[in-house]
Amino acid sequence: MPRPDRRENDQIRALHSILGLLNRVDGSAQFSAGSTSVYCGVYGPVDVKVYDEKLDRAVIEVKFRPAAGVSGTKDRWVESAVRGTFEREILAQMHPRTLIQINIQAREDDGSADAAAINATTMALVDAGVPLRDMVAAASCAVLADGAAVVDPTLEEAAAAQSVHTFAFAGSDIGRAGSGGASGSTSPVYVDSRGDFSVADYDRCYDLCLRSAQRVLAFMRTAIEGKIAKESQISVV
């Protein structure tokens, strides 16, 4: 059954990003997949309140604001997802007694917003020069009522779906899987599968999201290399 926007089941929407668009923060990025669009601004490392500071590592704080309305428990949930994902990927031990603050602003939500938030955060952290263990790429997948698994679902598709799955993977893991490793050996950094599904559905979505995450990661790399090339006027191979 064709999707409303005529995409293939394993086709993600057109990705678009802008790096360094905000001039007050240390690093920023806008990440869009189709109509879903998220801004992320990163301050770091900066001063931290003495009450909150950790002696051996940086404190990582995430703030998420919705596109419209007052922030509520939904946004706390997204914050905890993003913070959990990046708490290990950010090399916080390199900056003890400081704060790395990640501010995410949803611009438009047309499905797969959690994945977009994670992707935007990765790019903003790289733009800010925060030391990272690895880049994180996220992708979503939905299992529709007829059993078909579609990647990067729109809001409409996700609302009607039997289950929605969001996965985030570290870059090195994606590379390993891409070069022929079994998906059983990959270790997702974030998993959120919700709805009514079977283990087989989960596995199908896992593989689809892994492959989508490869494309997202390749896109992020290209975008970042492009920016560096422009800034330094040399070509990066």
189 touching other proteins, by CB under 8 A: yes
What distance in Å separates the CA atoms of residue 5 and residue 7, rounded to the nearest whole number? 6
Q: Which distant-in-sequence residues (6+ apart) come within 8 Å of 86 by Cβ?
A: 60, 62, 102, 121, 125, 136
Task: Identify the CA nearest to 174 among candidates 138, 214, 226.
Answer: 214
Which is closer to other proteins, CB of 183 or CB of 222? 183
The number of angstroms, rounded, from the C-alpha of 209 to the middle of its chain's C-alpha atoms is 12
> Minimal distance in Å, beta carbon 191 to other proteins?
4
Cβ proximity to other proteins, 4 vs 72, nearer residue: 72
Of 160, 194, 222, 231, the one binding other proteins by CB under 8 A: 194
114 binds other proteins (CB under 8 A): no
Query: Which of 23, 179, 185, 232 contacts other proteins by CB under 8 A?
Result: 185
Contacts of 197 (CB under 8 A, 6+ apart): 143, 162, 163, 165, 205
- Sole window of 9-17, 34-42, 144-152, 191-199 interacting with other proteins (rule: CB under 8 A): 191-199
Footprint of other proteins on 40-99 (CB under 8 A): 70-74, 76-77, 79-81, 84-85, 87-88
In the list 15, 170, 220, 223, the residue contacting other proteins (rule: CB under 8 A) is 170
- The Cα 74–Cα 68 span in angstroms is 13
In the block, tokens 């309140």 appear at 49
CB contact at 8 A, 90 and 60: yes
Q: Is 111 in the site for other proteins (CB under 8 A)?
A: no
What residue ranges bind other proteins (CB under 8 A)?
70-74, 76-77, 79-81, 84-85, 87-88, 170, 173, 183-199, 202, 206
